[in-house]
Chain A
C-alpha cells in the first residue's frame, strides 16, 4: 500500500542554519504531496503542498519540489529560526474519491539560538 518515509529525528540545528528534511513516498498513480507542521500542544497545520510532478510548494521560507523520478519531496529552508522548532510531517493523498491523508512518522526539529 501507499506509504511515506521521512528521516528520523530529532534534528538539531543552530539558528540561521540550512535545513533539509528528507521524504520519499511509495504510491500508485499521481498523489498530491504535503508537508504539515505541528507546534507543541497544537494540531496540524498545512505548511505547503504540490499536486503534480515538478511542482514546487513554498510557504514561510520553506520549500519542497515534487520529484516523481526519485519519488521524493524533501523539505528545505535556507535559514531556520528558533520559532521553526516543531514536528514536521510529510504526507500524501490521492485526492478525488480517496482523500485520506497518509502521513510519515514525523521529524522533530530543534533550533538552538
Chain B
C-alpha cells in the first residue's frame, strides 16, 4: 500500500514565477492538507481540501491556491514567488471521520528553492 506521494522532490524557481506541486494521498483517504515548513521551523498549515472544496485555510495570502481532483489527489499552486516562499512543502492525507479522530499521514515533501 503506497503512502502519501509528492512530486517533484526538489524544485528551483526564480522570483515572480509560478509553481505547481502535486500530492497523491494514501489509498482510502479523501482529505488532503498542505503545510509549509521553513528551515528550522515547524510546519505551518496552508489549507485543506475535501470533496474538491477548500475546507479550511491558514494565514497564507491568495498567491497560494489549491485544487483537489475526483481521485482525491491535490495540487498546490503558488504565484508570484517570493524568496520567502523557499521551504519544504508537506502534503498530508486523512480520512475525514465524524469522530474527529482522523490521523493525518505525511508525504516526504517537496523542497522549493526560490532564487
Residues of A within 8 A of B99 (CB): 95
Given the known interface contacts A99-B94, A101-B45, A102-B45, the answer about A43 and B109 at a Cβ–Cβ threshold of 8 Å is yes
* Neighbouring B residues of A96 by C-beta, 8 Å: 100
Total interface residues in chain A, CB < 8 Å: 26
A interface list, Cβ under 8 A from B: 4, 32, 36, 41-46, 49, 51, 89, 91, 94-106
Q: List 26 A-B contacts (CB under 8 A).
A: A32-B100, A43-B4, A43-B90, A43-B108, A44-B106, A45-B106, A46-B104, A46-B105, A51-B101, A91-B42, A94-B100, A95-B101, A95-B102, A97-B100, A98-B56, A99-B48, A100-B33, A100-B45, A101-B43, A101-B92, A102-B45, A103-B43, A104-B42, A105-B40, A105-B42, A106-B41
